[in-house]
Amino acid sequence: MNSISSPFGQNFLLALSSIGQFILIFLREFYWLLILIFLAHLFFNYRKTYLEKEAKKKKEPQEWSLLEIILTKAIEQSPRAMEDFFNGLSFVKKGYLSLEIVGLKHSIRFFLYCPAEYKKLIESLLFSQYPTIEIIEKEDYLSSLPPNLPNKNYDLWGTEFVLEKNSAYPIKTYPFFKEEKSEGFSDPLNNLAELINNLSEKEHYFIQIIVQPLDKEKQEKWVKESKEEEDIVLGKKVKPKPVSTKDWWLAFFINLLTGIFREPVWPDVSEAPAAPSSPSFSQQETAHLIEKKIAKKGFETGIRVIYLSPKDIFNEINTLSFLAFFNQFDFQNLNSFKVNDLVTTEHSGRLFAERRCFLKKRSLYQQLLKREKALTSFILNSEELATIYHLPTGQLKVSFIQPSGALFKKGEPPPYLPS
């Protein structure tokens, strides 16, 4: 007997018909209630977002200070002095710091942008490590640049740097920059200073390193994740196979079709224990360096660089100096820096490539002016930060360091910049 013609089948179809009629009547008579519920949902979501933004706004600093660090004589301290400075920044609970290296007129300049409430403390920390320096609070030199670039007269190239691997793996740090034939220190800033010295007076280099000390919770999370990576290196765990969005959708449709017969099965993202094995010397060394990195204070970090020049002398070859500077910190089999292709201001070859490149340049330039956080951040410890940003040692040619004078005058842009 046909199951549909059976009493059970007829009752089932009748029930479905009744449910359908009920839904149609409900929608016709009470559609306004559904609209009201939807609007209320939107309102409360918007209100929640607004209150969260306002609460976050109250926690953010309202006033900022720009400090220029001026060298009155050659620096004798190694980057260890700057590392000690970074280790003392645990008091920074609001906002972040922008560590800035500016190349201009054959000189290399060092700035530190910070919440005004921390200015005195930061000055004290710097003086304790570098007693011979001068620290001067300046008007923001970026405020004297044109509000929008590129334009008909000026062009720029820029990008952000990210880590090749995750933040557990260290980059090469200053202890590895000792000269082989002497006990001296080969300062990685030498190359950057030499390149800046070869620029024309109308070309500018900007490096912004946006850093924020990890709070206790984030520090513990980073240490935990790094230790898990260490276990993978030592062979104590097997790194799970990456699960893509495609894998999840495939599992979803399979579970949809077979769900009435068995329990749903989803992609496994857990780290399985590995079979015991003896780690090689290289693996042990990598694990040791990971352990050494997480033993120090961590900082959420973003790095932005921009080369700015008049169009008639714009030379993209000069941007290679950024790559050369950051390539110095490549640590074989561990970590290194690479450019973030999502940010790099180059033609992608896709539809409207020229327009898209122009908009990327405009956006990155605005982020430079506002000192916004980078699109992608990562974690460096105090030793790694001090390797990238420190006051140059005595080996650096002092003629590259401009000891005094304003970078730009407030309200009076340099005559060679477009208005």
3-state secondary structure of 246: helix
Q: Which helix (H) or strand (E) holds 305?
A: strand 298-310
pLDDT in tens, 318-329: 888 888 899 999
Cα of 112 vs its chain's centroid, Å: 17
| More confident position, 16 or 310 | 310
Question: Helical H runs in 234-279?
Answer: 245-258
Cα angle, residue 96 at apex, residues 92 and 99 outer, rounded to 5°: 110
At which residue do the structure tokens 């490096």 appear? 207
pLDDT value for 277: 66
Tell which residue, 356, 393, 403, has the closest CA to residue 81. 393
Peptide bond into 150 cis (omega under 30): yes
Residue 184, CA distances (Å) to 164, 177, 328, 390 in order = 29, 9, 17, 16
CA–CA dist 159, 374 (Å, integer): 10
CA–CA dist 23, 26 (Å, integer): 5
Residue 289, CA distances (Å) to 66, 154, 158, 280, 351 in order = 35, 44, 32, 14, 44
CA–CA dist 7, 25 (Å, integer): 27
pLDDT over 50 (residue 406) = no
- The CA-based dihedral angle spanning residues 226, 228, 230, 232, taken in that order and rounded to the nearest 10 degrees: -140
All domains in the chain, ordered by first residue:
65-214+297-400 (3.40.462), 220-284 (no CATH)
pLDDT in tens, 123-135: 999 999 999 999 9
Contact predicate 160/207, CB 8 Å: no
CA–CA dist 325, 109 (Å, integer): 16
pLDDT over 60 (residue 180) = no
- Record the tokens describing residue 219, joined without a space: 């520090």
CA–CA dist 412, 419 (Å, integer): 10
Pairing of strands 298-310, 204-213: antiparallel
pLDDT value for 316: 83
pLDDT over 80 (residue 273) = no
pLDDT-wise least confident of 22-26, 114-118, 153-157, 299-303: 22-26
pLDDT in tens, 12-60: 556 557 776 777 777 777 778 778 888 888 888 888 887 777 666 666 7
Contact predicate 268/247, CB 8 Å: no
Q: Which helix (H) or strand (E) holds 293?
A: helix 281-294
pLDDT-wise least confident of 86-90, 163-167, 378-382, 414-418: 414-418
| More confident position, 375 or 33 | 375
CA–CA dist 307, 150 (Å, integer): 11
DSSP letters, 78-143, are -THHHHHHHHTGGG--SS-EEEEEEEETTEEEEEEEEEGGGHHHHHHHHHHH-TT-EEEEE--GGG
Contact predicate 144/411, CB 8 Å: yes
Residue 382, CA distances (Å) to 57, 81, 87, 100, 373 in order = 28, 11, 6, 16, 19
pLDDT in tens, 391-404: 988 655 544 455 44
Tell which residue, 207, 208, 198, 206, has the closest CA to residue 105. 198
Tell which residue, 212, 184, 46, 196, has the closest CA to residue 115. 212
Cα angle, residue 325 at apex, residues 321 and 327 outer, rounded to 5°: 110
Q: Which helix (H) or strand (E) holds 8?
A: helix 7-59
Residue 392, CA distances (Å) to 45, 66, 176, 337 in order = 51, 20, 16, 21
CA–CA dist 66, 136 (Å, integer): 8
| More confident position, 14 or 169 | 169
- Record the tokens describing residue 169, joined without a space: 């793996």
pLDDT over 90 (residue 183) = no
